[in-house]
A and B are shown apart, each in its own frame.
Chain A
Amino acid sequence: MEALSQLFTIALWEIKRFQGTMSRDLLPVAIVLLVLLGGVSSFTAQKGIHLQDGIYRIGVDSPVYLDIIGSDPRYLVYPLPSDVTNIRSLGLDLAIRAGLLLRANGEKGAAAQKSFEHDYQAYLDSIYRQQTDLFAAYPVWIDSRYIISELDFLATQSGQQVAAPRQASENPPLPKTIETDLVPPSEIDLTEMEKLRVQLEEEAARGTDQLGRYTDLLSQQEALGKLKIPSMLSPPLPFDTIIFIFVFIFPLYFTSQFFMMSIMNERTLRQGEALIASPVRPVVLILGKMLPYACGMILIVIAILFTVKADVLAILPLIPVILFFLSFALFIGMVSRSYKELSFISIFFSTIATSYLFFPSIFANVHIVSLLSPVTLVVHVIDGTGYSLTDYIYSTALFYLTSIILFGVCVRNFHEEQLFTEKGLFDTMALYLGALISHRYWYLSLIIIAMMTIPFVFMAQMMYLTLFFNLPMPYSLILIMVLAALTEELVKSAGFVGIITNRYPPLTWKCVLLSSLLIGFGFLVGEKLLLVVTISQIVDSIFGAALFLSFGLIWIPFLLHAGTVCCTGVILKRWGMRALPVGIIIATALHTLYNLYVLRGWVW
């Protein structure tokens, strides 16, 4: 109860402090800037974004073709002399002569033709849309339906090929079960013509208006109902999800920056010393300081969801993202020595986090890998598909776990010695690890350190999976294998680093051996626990095998983990902390060799 009132006091102070920084000299400027921003963005929306203006040059022999090019600013149009054969010599990328489209050789000419064909299609559509008899101009309408096949991820990837289709045989296949729930194609008659015409026009307007496309995308008014004409039949453009990232993630990231600065400010000139000296526990201090920012972020998300008229359910997948940003903001605010270090680390972190959120989600509706990112769930809520509890756990568990662990580490290190140290980034991190080792139960600490690194390892490995999943098969597997081994060895060395900075227990040969066994044990237990809970879908595929070694008897992976970390330990004992990279490389090499041996059937 007392802790709770302390928490609110701290939160109140934090709000007051924030108001202090944001007041007087800043507020008028901020208001002016926001008004300017609004004005400028509507101005730019009106004038269009001029980024690729004049990138192609096209020559035409008759002004009729200007209808096709229209107002597309990408083209510079020149009149075409009638006797020219080599259009490249005129510096043109494209030329139209007597209805024939010529292009210059090379990449640029091809790209120009591609863009022209796109414009030509839009021109044709605009002509066809105006026909009185719409069904003569558009005689085919398609209703595309997706069948959910229970095989999904496993079936396509546990084989050697990523998405290998079956070679069709001469005779039609005979399924085991015959579907009974059948709906014949719906007939369209003349009465629906005008409705469909309006839909086509809306769809066309969506394609041309740069900003309109995205605002529509957010409110998801599928202009074309269920029926499409063939030229509009295409998989959803994945670049669109980047808009979701901008809309949701960037405001959250910016708010977490304020929290980061607040923590950093406590450290400059040791201003926070009084706070630490107070009888308030570090965990209350941190949570109190964090509370206003967390509430602010949730309010921002609700406001955005409300503006785009999305279901408020979409907030659930974003909560772990908020926690994730806040925990990293706390960590970065605590470890960086100077403002520029703060900037660089936070830019670095934000790029990686944004990529982690973004790259899987471009495969939304396409692939189960997409579920690795909570943003995919937001996409699903907005487009009306929704998500199941399993999906939620699958895509958010790692975010929750990493945030909570990072909070734990930071709370434990929220003391004078660690906060006001002048050491570099890596030394500070070693210091943090050292503080995690308990003097009495150091062996238990080792197991716990090894276990809590697991979510971070998983996150990194999921990242490798999304990154390299699309490369051709042997390369993707080998790359994933080497990187996975490197990550595992890196985090397993954390226990040794902790022991060395803590200076207790002394690193004797006996201690090296015992610690290796403990770290190997903790790592294995953590790995198995998390695997069972979350990502069993990936585990059983070949990529899962490369990542998690989830096969064979339990003692083989145990010996491997213990053995490789022992290598690192021996090297650390013999040559000290400076030899850590060497130790990790050797351990990685051993680990990879073992993986290759186990998976040899897949690779060659």
Chain B
Amino acid sequence: MNLRLVTAIARKEIQSLRSEKTIILAILLQFFIAMFSSFLMVGLSAMYDPSVYGRFTGVQYGIGFVGNDSILFDLFSRDPSFIPYRMDPGVALGALKERQLAAVVWPSETPAESEDPVTITLYTISNDIQSTVIEVKIKEILLEYEDILRDIRRDRLDFRPVTVTPSRPVAQNSFYEFIYGLLIPMLLFMPAIISAGLVIDLITEEYQEQTLDTLRSTPATLEDIICGKILACILIIPVQVALWLALLMANGIRIAMLAEIVLHVFFTSTALILIAATIAVMYRDRTKAQFIFSTAVIIVLLLLLAFPSNPVNLIVLLAVGGAPAYHWAVLIASIASCALLIVLIKNVMRRVEYF
């Protein structure tokens, strides 16, 4: 293998990526997804945590209350976000339909200590963000009501659960688990998937456009050419990963142990790129190679995820700052699998060289 030729080919590929502006598309894509994830945050937190709508605090919702249940009525009137009115069912539903009320609550006339449960019909307006917000608030009151009734009927329980009381309440919702447990690993492996797809394109293109023969008439061997292409794809990984990490940090997401994360992503991605390159060399046709590769990637990923302490899990742990020391062993294992894959692709190349 001639190192000068390999780097020359890698340089050419990176330059053509730059001049074709395709890499710019990839970066645009990253921005686009980053934008969407922030949208997801805002949209979903608004749905699940009413306090996100700052202006809603202080607003009191009118609730139509039908029937004579006094415990539930008191719970509603004690809550600062609601004003319950005792109403006739027809009037209450009419007012709800005209949006003069936020919801109508209609409990059955079952006494608190009865054998039978209390049933409540809860009417809200369909197709409306507002009723989602209100439903979340009403749910809290109903849970409180459930606790009160359960306490009244306490003696009828066979056994009690262990009690754990939080020392202080926790804010309604945080996206900690979503961000660290799903978004970060997903985003960090995007570059790997992109680069692996790229290496297939670069290799099959030489075959299908029949430019490989011309290239082979230079001093470069098949091995030099393929290695150069692989190198180009590997080299753009740290760049893309760094961009992601920068984007995440710009969004105020703190990531611990950056260097280790980059190392893990780098070697796992390298393994994926090598698999892709092997498939491309074997099939020499983009449609076939991409099809085999995408199926293979799903298999490998699913298999990896089935085991604890897989690289993806370790990236999550590294990002939150609590990774066990054996993550170095996993890193060494991924480096070893890269080495194995290099041996494999060399063999494949030797076999197909003059076909």
Interfacial residues, chain A to chain B (CB-CB below 8 A)? 21-22, 25-26, 29-30, 33-34, 36-37, 40-41, 43-44, 47-55, 57, 64-65, 67-68, 73, 91, 96, 99-103, 107-108, 110-111, 113-115, 117, 120, 123-124, 127-128, 130-133, 135-152, 155-156, 161-180, 182-190, 227, 229-231, 233-235, 238, 254, 257-258, 261, 265, 268-269, 337-345, 347-348, 351-352, 355, 359, 362, 365-368, 424-425, 467-468, 470-471
Who on chain B is nearest to A144 by CB? Answer: B122
State the Cβ distance, A115 to closest chain B Cβ, in Å: 7
Do residues A185 and B97 form an inter-chain contact, with CB atoms below 8 A? no
Question: Mostly helix, strand, loop or mixed at chain A's interface?
Answer: mixed
Kindly list chain B residues whose C-beta atoms are within 8 Å of the C-beta of A165. Answer: 56, 59, 61, 102, 130, 134
18 CB < 8 A contacts A-B: A30-B292, A34-B295, A44-B305, A50-B308, A124-B161, A138-B117, A142-B119, A146-B123, A163-B53, A166-B100, A166-B102, A168-B60, A176-B94, A179-B93, A230-B139, A233-B135, A359-B36, A362-B43
Residues of B close to A467: CB separation below 8 A = 35-36, 39
Interface segment, one of B83-91, B261-269, B340-348? B83-91
Total number of B residues with any Cβ neighbor in A under 8 Å: 145
Partner of A141, one of B99, B118, B296: B118
Residue of A nearest to B89 (CB): A182
- Judging by beta carbons under 8 Å apart, are B306 and A52 in contact? no
Pair A230/B142 contact, Cβ less than 8 Å: yes
Question: Could you tell me if B55 and A161 are in contact, using CB atoms closer than 8 angstroms?
Answer: yes
Which single residue of chain B is at the shortest CB-CB distance from A139?
B149
Residues of B within 8 A of A120 (CB): 164
Determine whether the beta carbon of B201 is less than 8 Å from that of A172: no
Residue of A nearest to B182 (CB): A51
Count, A-B residue pairs, CB within 8 A: 420
Decide yes or no: A136 and B142 within 8 Å by CB, A49-B305, A148-B126, A163-B130 being known contacts: no
Q: Is the CB of A51 within 8 A of B61?
A: no
Contact A44 B303 (CB under 8 A): yes
**Contacts A30-B292, A156-B128, A185-B108 known; A172 to B305 CB distance under 8 Å?**
no
CB contact under 8 A between A187 and B177, given known A99-B164, A351-B29: no
> Is there an interface contact between A340 and B205, defined as CB atoms closer than 8 Å?
yes
A347 to B29, CA, bound (A): 8
Report chain B residues within 8 Å CB of A174: 91, 95
Bound together, the chains give a CA A176 to CA B94 distance in angstroms of: 7
| Cα A87 to Cα B162 with chains together (Å) | 22
Distance, CA A31 to CA B60, complexed state (A): 62
Q: Name the residue on A nearest B48 (C-beta).
A: A235
Using A51-B185, A340-B202, A366-B127 as known contacts, say yes or no to A261 and B210 having CB atoms under 8 A apart.
no
CB neighbours of A470 from chain B (8 A): 39, 42-43, 46
A509 smallest CB distance to B (angstroms): 33
| The 10 A-B residue pairs with the shortest CB-CB distance in the complex, in nearest-first order | A168-B62, A111-B176, A175-B94, A146-B126, A172-B85, A173-B100, A339-B201, A139-B149, A136-B156, A179-B93
Inter-chain CA distance A151–B174, complex, in Å, is 33
Q: A36-B299, A187-B116, A344-B25 are in contact. List 16 more A-B contacts (CB 8 A).
A: A33-B295, A50-B305, A51-B305, A52-B316, A54-B317, A64-B162, A101-B165, A127-B161, A149-B96, A163-B128, A165-B102, A179-B93, A179-B97, A190-B116, A233-B122, A233-B135
Q: Which residues of A contact B298 (CB under 8 A)?
A: 37
**B322 CB to closest chain A CB, in angstroms?**
7
Beta-carbon contacts under 8 Å, B289-307 to A:
290-292, 294-296, 298-299, 302-303, 305-307
B250 to chain A, nearest CB (A): 17
Q: Complex formed: what's the CA distance from A156 to B102 in Å? A: 13
Q: Interface stretch among B213-221, B238-246, B279-287?
A: B279-287
Does the CB pair A68–B164 fall under 8 Å?
yes
Q: Is B309 an interface residue (CB 8 A)?
A: yes
Chain B residues within 8 Å of A183, by CB: 121
Among A41, A53, A344, max chain B CB count under 10 A is at A344
State how many angstroms separate the Cβ of A157 from the closest Cβ of chain B. 10
CB of A148, distance to nearest CB on chain B (Å): 5
Contacts of A365 in B (CB 8 A): 126-127
Judge whether B157 and A131 touch: CB under 8 Å. yes
